[in-house]
């Protein structure tokens, strides 16, 4: 049945070829005809694709010009006046304009807590905060917790309890822990875990972080 169907098609093609060229239905002519059909089919198949590629060419809008704003901040006890694009985040301002790379950029989407700093004593994700929103604020980063040569008690406790492994999340964990102790809302292990849940540790040092925070809480 299948062979019969195939023979019928080839025969029809031969006839079409003869009709189209006026030549005999020899093998060369049939091949030419088949290759023409193939090319024509490819053209038919690709044409819409090529058209659609042309159609989706994006037209990018011109970037809005930078709007430079003067922001006054007290960063780690030092007053600063900064001329910055109002779209800059606090995290980028700290890391790229103020040479304070202690606060880490993990996700840049408010999901990992690596960028946690204290603004007026409250912990915030600096990747989600525009620096323009902090005008007049006091900002404390991990670099500002130690006093002279003395580490902050939370830093000491993290060292004592091995509250870190790779250390990438640690600046954010420590700033967050300092804020949590100041808030005084966490009274049990479960509450500490819950209120620290915005700070992710990929190394899984949670048990040791908990021990460090409890030591500072109970001091
Ligand atoms: S970098 Fe800010 S929350 Fe992850
Ligand atoms: S110590 Fe490695 S991510 Fe927390």
Query: Rounded distance, CA 197 to CA 113, Å?
Result: 9
CB of 107 sitting under 6 A from ligand 1:
yes
* The pLDDT value given to residue 185: 97
Q: How many residues does the chain have?
A: 219
Q: What are the tokens at 117? A: 């700093």
* The pLDDT value given to residue 183: 97
* The pLDDT value given to residue 146: 97
Q: What are the tokens at 110? A: 């408010």
Residue 104 CB neighbours (<10 A): 21
CB of 111 sitting under 6 A from ligand 1:
yes
Task: List the pLDDT tens digit at each of the 219 positions of the chain.
Answer: 444 544 444 454 444 444 444 344 444 455 554 455 454 444 445 455 555 556 677 787 777 788 899 999 999 999 999 999 989 999 999 999 999 999 999 999 999 999 999 999 999 999 999 999 999 999 999 999 999 899 999 999 999 999 999 999 999 999 999 999 999 999 999 999 999 999 999 999 999 999 999 999 999
Query: Rounded distance, CA 106 to CA 114, Å?
Result: 6
* The pLDDT value given to residue 31: 55
Atom of ligand 1 nearest to the CA of 106: 1
* The pLDDT value given to residue 64: 77
Give the ligand at the shortest distance from the Cα of 90: 1
Cα diameter, the chain: 103
Q: Which residue has the least CA distance to atom 4 on ligand 2? A: 201
Domains and CATH numbers, the chain: 2-55 (no CATH), 68-144 (3.10.20.30), 153-217 (1.10.150.120)
Query: Rounded distance, CA 9 to CA 19, Å?
Result: 15
Ligand 2 site: residues with CB under 6 angstroms?
164-170, 201-203, 205
Give the ligand at the shortest distance from the Cα of 202: 2
Four-point Cα dihedral 157, 202, 189, 216, nearest 10: 10
CA of 77 to the centre of ligand 1 (A): 24
The model's pTM is 0.73
- 124 - beta bridge partners? 117
109-126 b/e with 16+ CB inside 10 Å = b? eeebbbbbbbbeeebbbb
Q: For a ligand 2 pocket test, name from 113, 168, 208 the mutation site with the most ligand atoms within 8 angstroms of its C-beta.
A: 168
* The pLDDT value given to residue 37: 45
* The pLDDT value given to residue 67: 87
């Amino acid at each position: 049945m299948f062979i019969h169907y195939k023979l019928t098609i080839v025969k029809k093609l031969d006839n079409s070829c003869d009709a189209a060229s006026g030549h005999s239905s020899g093998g060369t002519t049939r091949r030419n005809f088949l290759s023409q059909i193939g090319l024509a089919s490819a053209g038919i198949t690709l044409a819409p694709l090529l058209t659609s590629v042309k159609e989706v060419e994006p037209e990018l809008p011109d970037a809005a010009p930078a709007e430079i704003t003067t922001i006054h901040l007290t960063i780690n006890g030092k007053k600063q006046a900064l001329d910055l694009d109002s779209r800059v985040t606090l995290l980028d301002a700290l890391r790229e304009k103020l040479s304070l790379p202690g606060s880490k950029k993990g996700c840049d989407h408010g999901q990992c807590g690596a960028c946690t700093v204290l603004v007026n004593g409250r912990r915030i994700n600096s990747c989600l905060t525009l620096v323009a929103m902090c005008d007049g604020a006091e900002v404390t980063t991990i670099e500002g917790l130690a006093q002279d040569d003395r580490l902050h008690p939370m830093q000491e406790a993290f060292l004592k309890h091995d509250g870190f492994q790779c250390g990438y999340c640690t600046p954010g964990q420590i700033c967050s822990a300092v804020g949590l102790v100041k808030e005084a809302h966490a009274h049990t292990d479960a509450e500490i875990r819950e209120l620290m849940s915005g700070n992710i540790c990929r190394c899984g040092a949670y048990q040791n972080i908990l021990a460090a925070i409890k030591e500072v809480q109970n001091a």
